[in-house]
Structure 1
Amino acid sequence: MAIRWHGALALYVLIACAGAAAARTVPPKGLDGNFDEALAGGHVLPDPLVMRDGRPVTSARMWRVERRPELVALFEDTIFGVAPPPPKQMRSVVTDTDTKALGGTATRKQVTLYLNGDTQGPQMHVLIYLPNGVKAAPVFVGLNFHGNQAINDDPAIDITTTWLTDYQSPGIVKHHATAASRGQDAAEWPLAKILAAGYGVATFAPGDLYPDSDNMIAESVHPFYGTQSSAPNHWGAIATWAWGMSRVYDYLATDHQVDAHRIIAIGHSRYGKAALWAGARDTRFAMVVANDSGAGGAKLYRRNFGESIRVMNTYWFAPRFKTFASRENDLPVDAHELIALVAPRPVYIATASEDLWGDTTGQFLAAQAADPVYRLLGTQGLGVSTLPPPDTPVHSIIGFHIRTGPHAITDYDWSQYLRFADTYLHAKIVTRIVK
């Protein structure tokens, strides 16, 4: 891979050999996009450390006070949409507690969040497992695909009642969970491993906020907030899910069994996009993990490889976003700046060798181009200059790995995230990052 810098930080990328394995791989049928590295082309990225008016960002204070808010507003206006402010009347009710769950290793809690304080209004149903023997546990917060009951076969987990995707899920019938779905996604949530490492988990289903499908806005929480779906910067599903992750944070911060300074936003695939946006907007999250997040997450839009704006789901984003289809170079921002919005907090970008849609090289280049912001803010950044081979994780404060295999979140991925969190979420490091 040959990379050269123009001016201060505008990145020109020419691919010489990185991604050659992807170029030799025949993409699965049905994927609409370019999968030939020879056609990926060069690209110029907007400089994260240059203001829209051309002024260079020369200090950490200028980043925090001027450039960071400017970037957040640009992402809201052109990609994700503007979410409403946090609800002032949110009320939480713990509907279930078992201090001897999972063979006595965990405390299980099921919590209903009444977002407007009204039992007839919008609500979220959050499943929480906390490790016993840990006074105040760090917690991973993320969405699940097939309902709370799908992450473990614990028979006491309430079956999610909201709309669910039934893709590759025999336990979901006509988009609603059945008892047969209990534990079907347990491999994606290795609770025994997570709890043994001293971490907790808090998860909820997307349908609580926005059912993950086209033409479902009427069934989402949007009608409760009076936002105009025709507005070009109307919040899409990803912004809605990210907003919901912050509501889970609001609750966890009140739970004395949780360390509010060590709450981690995590997500796989489309929910990895949501985790990145949640961490970018809400600096209370101490760390962000985006697993196979692809375009709309950690993949560069300007690199012509894999998923593109033209083929992405419309409902995920603000209406204005789709106007940039086939003209990605006109976007005022790109994925490296989304990653940079997490700085100086630790962020982990993970991909998979067979996930051509997600563009492994494009995600690495985005992490690399976020590096100058991390360094401006006093951290080591990505710490490597070349694309690592599969199964060779980079554990700098911008973490990265390529896992051998398909688009998925696996035990290997979780092993890296737990090790990464152990490294960067020690009390002294968290204090330094907060300051």
Structure 2
Amino acid sequence: MSNHFYKSPLLPDPLLGCEGEKILTAEQWQQIRRPEILELFHEHVYGRAPLQRPQYLRFITVDKGEGWMGGKAVRKKIDIGYEGPGGNGVIHLYLFVPAQAIRPVPTFLLICNREAENMDPDREVQSPFWPAEHIVSRGYAAAVFHVEDLDPDKHDGFKNGVHGIFDPPEVPRPKDAWGTLAAWAWGASRVMDYLETDPDIDDKSVALVGHSRGGKTALWCGAQDERFAMVVSNDSGCGGAAITRCKKGETINNINERFPHWFCENYKSFNGRENELPIDQHMLLSLIAPRLLYVASASEDTWADPDSEFLACTHAERVYNLLGLKGLETLDMPAPECPLHQGSIGYHLRTGKHDLTLFDWNCFMDYADRHMKEARL
């Protein structure tokens, strides 16, 4: 890798309050600084959803069958229905639970942002993007939903999906109103609402996983929803795990021009003005603390910028340390295929391009075996 990491930009301090007070205790972090940082991301980056759990939310088991994966799994199809002033919608959740495991089981929940065939519930297509068979073989339930159940990934003025269902009829739309990534994150929390009710699932041991734009979504969901025990961001780059200041590859201007619907309108005011942001992405990562955080990069993914993703992890470590936890335990970027799994922040760099592979999944599960499963014993 380049020496970009060692040219660390001047970053906002996650342990310095908005009024200039130093955050010295876990109590100050939880009561003062964490809410401040969360509010700054609501206002300037992702926007704020008009509600959390809706009044009307129901879970319907559409199908449940044994004998899947050669008898190793039980498959469930769950429809998570929601309703608001503008209509109703459904999240289609697919869930494979290990048949022989002691219940309840820990779970990996994937936010799928690729074609639906990558999450084929009939397993005629077995994509490494969601290797359900492999996840089950490791003793985890494999869960997945598709982002377009919440909001199609296109800009239509926020008239479709959950925006059309729940947004108040304000014109013009507030500049801090939720964008598409926030809508997908809202959906992941509704899936968690269901998982809390499923006796086969250990709701205290759910890992949320996202790749690319899904990785940005996983981080934003995990920052807000503290029910997730582990949050995994794979190749999430700008607006995800990567430090924004001095970043290589994709910039705020690039991402807002190509995907104007992902973030709130206020984020566009920082096009070319990254240094004026009152936050940066290491502060988003710090909001996962004290829970498990895992960031993964790919060596050829210069658009996401692995250096800046790793840099964010090193700067989030201070918050983990304040809470009495270990982080990466190193300032040195690891070589490819040499995961860092020592502390409550995990990281690996994989050789190759922008993708979510079986190697990545094995690293996530190795880390969860070491930290999330151990916590259950």
TM-score, normalization by structure 1? 0.81
Partner of 2:147: 206
Structure 2 residue matching 1:211: 3-state secondary structure: coil
What code does the residue aligned with 2:357 have?
T
How is 1:5-404 mapped onto 2 (pairs within 5 angstroms)? 18-19=1-2, 43-83=9-49, 84-116=51-83, 121-134=88-101, 135-146=103-114, 148-152=116-120, 154=122, 183=125, 186-215=127-156, 217-227=158-168, 228=170, 230-312=173-255, 313-395=259-341, 396-404=343-351
**2:12 aligned partner, one-letter code:** P
- CA pair 216-189 structure 1, distance change in 2 beyond 3 A: farther
* Partner Cα distance (1:187, 1:314) in 2: 30
Q: Which amino acid aligns with 1:218?
A: K
The residue that corresponds to 2:362 in the other structure is 415
Secondary structure at the counterpart of residue 218 of structure 1 = coil
AA matched with 2:112:
N
Does the C-alpha gap of structure 1 residues 384 and 340 become closer, same or farther in structure 2, counting only changes over 3 Å? same
Question: Using the alignment, how far apart are the partners of 1:153 and 1:98 within structure 2?
Answer: 12
- Residue identity matched to 1:236: G
- Name the amino acid aligned to 1:399: G
Partner-residue secondary structure (3-state), 2:174: coil
Give 1:217 deviation, angstroms.
Answer: 2.2
Distance, in Å, in 2 between the alignment partners of 1:262 and 1:402 is 25
Shift of 1:146: 4.1
Tell me how far apart the structure 1 counterparts of residues 32 and 113 of structure 2 sit (CA, whole Å). 37
- Percent identical across equivalent pairs? 38
Say which SS state the counterpart of residue 419 (structure 1) adopts: helix
**Root mean square deviation, CA, Å:** 2.0
1:322 is matched by which residue type in structure 2? K
**Aligned AA (2:181):** I
1:147–1:204 contact (8 Å) kept in structure 2: no
Inter-partner Cα distance in structure 2 for 1:216 and 1:133: 48
Q: CA deviation at 1:426?
A: 2.9
Alignment size in residue pairs: 368
Q: In 2, are the aligned partners of 1:138 and 1:199 still within 8 Å (CA)?
A: yes
Q: 1:230 to 1:101 in 2, by over 3 A?
A: same
Q: Deviations for 1:299-324, whole angstroms, at most 9, x for unmatched residues?
A: 01112311100010221100100110
CA deviations on 1:215-271 (whole Å, 9 max, x unpaired) are 262221112112447211010111111110000000011000000100111100000
Unaligned runs of 5+ in 2: none
Gaps of 5+ in 1: 1-17, 21-36, 156-181
Letter in 2 for 1:217: F
**CA-to-partner distance for each residue in 1:114-147, whole Å, 9 max, x for gaps?**
11389x6122111111111121111111221345
Partners of 2:220 and 2:117 lie apart in 1 by 26
Classify 1:282/1:217 alpha carbon distance in 2 versus 1 (closer, same or farther; 3 Å).
Answer: same
> What TM-score does the superposition give when structure 2 sets the normalisation length?
0.93
CA deviation digits over 1:276-312, x for unaligned, max 9? 1111000000000000010111001112311100010
1:407 partner letter: H
Q: Please say if residues 287 and 346 of structure 1, whose CA atoms lie closer than 8 Å, have aligned partners that are also in contact.
A: yes
